[in-house]
Amino acid sequence: MKKYVYFFGAGKAEGTGEMKELLGGKGAGLAEMTHIGLPVPAGFTITTEACDYFFKHGRKLPRELSAEVAANLKRLERVTGKKLGDAEDPLLVSVRSGSARSMPGMMETILNLGLNAGSVAALARKTKNERFAWDAYRRFVQMYSTVVIGLAKEELEAKLRALKARLGVKDDTQVTAEGWRGLVAEYKAHFRRKTGKEFPEGPQEQLWDAIGAVFESWMAEKAVTYRRVEKITGLLGTAVSVVQMVFGNLGENSGTGVCFTRDPSTGEKHFYGDFLINAQGEDVVAGIRTPMPLQEMARRMPKVYEQLEHARRLLETHYRDMQDMEFTVEEGKLYMLQTRVGKRTPAATFRIAADMVRERLISKEEALLRIKPEDIERLFYPVIDQSVARTELARRQLATGINAVPGAAVGKAVFTAHEAEDWAQRGEKVILVRRETSPEDVGGMFVAQGILTATGGKTSHAAVVARGWGKCCVVGCERLDIDYAQKLMRANGRVVRQGEWITLDGSEGSVYEGEVALVMPELPPVYHTLLGWADKIRRLGVHANADTAHDARKAREMGAEGIGLCRTEHMFFKDFEQPERSIERQLAIQEMIIADNREARRKALEKLLPFQRRDFVNLFKVMDGCPVIIRLIDPPLHEFVPHDREKQAELARKIGIDVEVVARRVEQLREANPMLGHRGCRLAITYPEILEMQVRAIIEAAIECKKQGVKVLPEVMHPLTLDRKELALLADATRRVADEIIKKSGIKLRYLVGTMIELPRAALLADQVAEVADFFSFGTNDLTQTVMGLSRDDAGRFLPDYVDEKKAGIFSADPFQSIDVEGVGLLIKWAIERGRATRPKLEIGICGEHAGDAASVKFCHQVGMDYVSPSPFRVPVARLAAAQAVIEERAAGKKRRQAKLKKH
């Protein structure tokens, strides 16, 4: 039979610290602390499996649970020598939530359970403290009413405030026993009015209701949101720990506190915490009174402090990680109520990990496993200052969307890219707000502090471009009603006009009104040490996606070893090195597209050639000695031409043709489904002169660099290939142009020709495709789109429902962010196996957005890719994840070997 309840107390525990999945962090911590001899109040933990059962069976508890709880309650009463709800010597308990992953403050807890008219009197007698007993009771009635029944907390708080006003006192500690007794009566009357029932007196009823309410809180809005934001998936639910109450509010010899074994902000090794004399735990959390630092406690209660210091040392060496502990002192006796791995700032994460390696508490591998991708990401982006109150943020919140690129940004809202450029030129800080963005907007996007769009998902144009620059970006903010004509947006009942300040939080996907204070984190001194360890361990190479020399410099600074994707079309609209020439190159590309015959197209391409060649020269120079994979033109051409009449007229004038010709050509380019239309290498099949110009630019640039002593390793990549024959045509054309130039130059130059794998057909036929490709690079943005049949630009509208456990909960993560291992992953594995069967040395990488997602990087390692290529700012995450993949692989191998040995 399944065991749903685990007891701990009197120095023994049925559970252990290892059983976090089943007992939750709190239950496992209490069991483990009991084992290692720390003073822990007795109790029992109901497992997360019971919670899982509860939700799977229409909120019914497993039948056998009631007998198990009854038996454990008896045992608890025996150990403590008290009885729940007794009118002589009552046992009071807390009923606490706690899942395998810490979710601070997201779920519920009920304290002082077991109080009723009889037991409150007994408690007063026993403690000789009537005021204390009634204070405990009013707290219980309030918690029960709000947490179990769901009555509004504010209404009860208002009654407390009114009571204090009547008594003419400021602090809760000044309220008398009589005062609390009156408040309990008021609360109970309120309860009756609201529910039509009496407040429950029976301790059994109270207990079971509380257990149900704690389970219920697993699915409360805030808990679900927290799990989504923190990417916590795969847990069964919360456990419930029923623990004997100990009281920190029994007088000056009692108190309660929270402490960390090291400083959670800096990581420094000093005992850090807060202590409140004569208080219950919730008072510390609620911040009603100002607590004293632990050092003050050392002075006031030296003996207890010494015990606490002992617990600190014991727990840290036992768990080999920084612990966050809660404790209570009841009349001079210390009780440990909780220990868990402490949350810390990214800077502290690095420092603690490195310090613990030095102290020989953990190995380098363990240190690396402790760093989360977010810890690294948060080091490179400005963030909202922690001192800004949550309530302040809630007040300012305009809308939420998809958190496309982390970090935060403050600026004036501007609704067109052109104006954003003008404003920025004048020295203004702007946030570009668009329904969606297109390549035409890159200038405005580049100068903006942050980008906000009403539509789109994590691989939409705005997200991809912003990520490349490490620029804060929130997309898919469906609630925004953007009015371009009036230059304003409406959200949450408010209006933001052009020029008004807004703040974006790209880590959470929030938009706030006004200027919120930001801070730039400093790189921790040991950052390079830890990433150096990662580089030594990892097997995967880490390249970066970079379109310009500027991006490439950033990529190298972040540790990239090559360029895995240079999207040439991103160079068409802005000249990053000579901005004053941007218009000139825009015109050249537009003229090329508008041209309706080969000759005219060739002429326009001639103009574009020097620009592209200069781009590549600069890129190669920055990447001296590293491979550079350059992809030929990819997006549908209509993205590069103007759609409104005014701009068409302007273009016609500039290139000296009739506006009707421009309009007709733009109309011709219109497609019902451009993402599946005339794009990718299909453009080069139809217009081979584009391929010729781009290959020429690449090879001539490479030769020029080589002459200057730069080590160049160019790789020409064809996007969206369908099959062998198509790629063979393109590869032949590429080699013809390249070889002729090389031959003429008299310089020796090695280059590769390969393809992106972005379509299921190419992946399925990878063995044939590999016959004509030197390399594969998985374009998982398009591959996800085409395998799933979900538009990468539109799916943002409904995908949140797909990953929200409270809604459809169909996916555990956004497939455009983290590779869908089951579906898309299967195809990738197939393509790698088949590709390498044909060409064992086939170079294989990934350049879709997934390359910067830690879970996807681990997948890429497992399937044997050679490298991953994320945007420059995500390079450090990829370096870390690639190392973690090796460490985890070794650990899994060791486990398997051990299991095998055991079997024999």
What is the rounded distance in angstroms from the CA atom of residue 142 to the CA atom of residue 115?
Answer: 12
CB of 570 to Mg ion, least distance (A): 13
Question: What is the nearest approach in angstroms of ligand PEP to the Cβ of residue 780?
Answer: 5
**Would you say 489 or 681 has its CB closer to Mg ion?**
681
847 binds, among ligand PEP, Mg ion, none (CB under 5 to 8 A by kind): ligand PEP
Residue 547 binds Mg ion (CB under 5 A) = no
Q: Which single residue is written with the structure tokens 């405030």?
A: 161
Long-range contacts: 426-435, Cβ < 8 Å, 24+?
Answer: 431/502, 431/504, 433/480, 433/482, 433/489, 433/502, 434/462, 434/482, 435/482, 435/484
- Select from ligand PEP, Mg ion, none the partner in contact with residue 45, using the beta carbon and a kind-dependent cut-off of 5 to 8 Å: none
When the beta carbons of 400 and 780 are compared against ligand PEP, the nearer one is 780
Selected range binding Mg ion among 77-85, 544-552, 750-758, 875-883, rule: CB under 5 A: 750-758
Phi, psi (5° rounding) for residue 82? Answer: -130, 165
Contact partner, 214, from Mg ion, ligand PEP, none, Cβ < 5-8 Å per class = none
- Binding to Mg ion, residues 74-93 (CB under 5 A): none
Residue 633: CB minimum distance to ligand PEP, A: 11
Comparison of 279 and 851: residue with beta carbon closer to Mg ion? 851
Residue 567 interacting partner from Mg ion, ligand PEP, none (CB closer than 5 to 8 Å by kind):
ligand PEP
Least Cβ distance, residue 713 to ligand PEP (angstroms): 20
Nearer to Mg ion, 48 or 459 (CB): 459
Residue with smaller CB distance to ligand PEP, 415 or 776: 776
- What positions carry a catalytic annotation? 461, 847
Question: Measured from the CB atom, is 238 or 777 closer to Mg ion?
Answer: 777
Compute how many other C-beta atoms are within 10 angstroms of the C-beta atom of residue 483.
Answer: 12
* Closest CB 784 distance from ligand PEP, rounded Å: 8
Q: Which of 53, 57, 47 is nearest to 23 (CA)?
A: 47
Where on the chain is the footprint of ligand PEP (CB under 6 A)? Answer: 464, 565, 567, 634, 758, 779-782, 847-848
Q: Write down the least CB distance from residue 847 to Mg ion, Å.
A: 8
Q: Would you give the binding string for Mg ion spanning residues 772-791, x where CB under 5 A is met? A: -------x--x---------
Buried b / exposed e across 885-904, counting CB within 10 Å, b at 16+? bbbbeeeeeeeeeeeeeeee
Q: Which tokens in the block code for residue 154?
A: 């504010």
CB of 635 to Mg ion, least distance (A): 9
Residue labelled with tokens 């103009």: 607
Smallest separation (angstroms) from ligand PEP to the CB of 848: 3
- Could you give the 3-state DSSP secondary structure of residue 287? coil
Q: How far is the CB of 719 from Mg ion (least distance, A)?
A: 6
What are the strands, taking DSSP E only, across 707-749?
713-718
Q: Is 503 helix (H, G, I), strand (E, B) or coil?
A: strand
User: What CA–CA distance (Å, rounded) separates 72 from 62?
Assistant: 16
DSSP 8-class letter at 648: H
CB 394 within 8 Å of CB 560: no
- Going through 783-842 in order, the beta strands assigned E by DSSP cover none
SS3 call for 63: coil
Sign of CA dihedral 98, 101, 102, 106: negative
Structure tokens at 98: 């706690």
The entry of Mg ion, ligand PEP, none that residue 689 binds, CB within 5 to 8 Å by partner kind: none
Contact in structure between 40 and 33 (CB atoms under 8 Å) = yes
Nearest-angstrom CA–CA distance, 781 and 465: 13
780 touches, from Mg ion, ligand PEP, none (C-beta below 5 to 8 Å by class):
ligand PEP
Q: What whole-number distance in Å separates Cα of residue 845 and Cα of residue 866?
A: 6
Query: From the CB of 317, what's the least distance to ligand PEP, in Å?
Result: 47
Least distance in Å: CB of 782 to Mg ion?
4
**Alpha-carbon dihedral 534, 536, 537, 540, rounded to 10 degrees:** 90
Q: Can you tell me the distance from the alpha carbon of 592 to that of 686, in angstroms, rounded to the nearest whole number? A: 13
Angle at 603 between CA 600 and CA 608, to 5 degrees: 125
> Could you give the 3-state DSSP secondary structure of residue 736?
helix
- Indicate the DSSP class of residue 343: P
What is the torsional sign of CA 796, 797, 801, 802?
A: negative
Which of 52, 121, 39, 120 lies closest to 334 in space, CA to CA?
A: 39
Q: What residues are paired with 762 via a beta bridge?
A: none
Q: Is 154 helix (H, G, I), strand (E, B) or coil?
A: helix
How far is it, in rounded angstroms, from Cα 852 to Cα 566?
16
C-beta atoms surrounding 802 within 10 Å: 17
CA dihedral 565, 566, 569, 572 (to 10 degrees): 160
Helices (H), 723-812: 724-745, 760-764, 766-769, 780-788, 799-803
Residues of this chain that interact with Mg ion (CB under 5 A) are 758, 779, 782
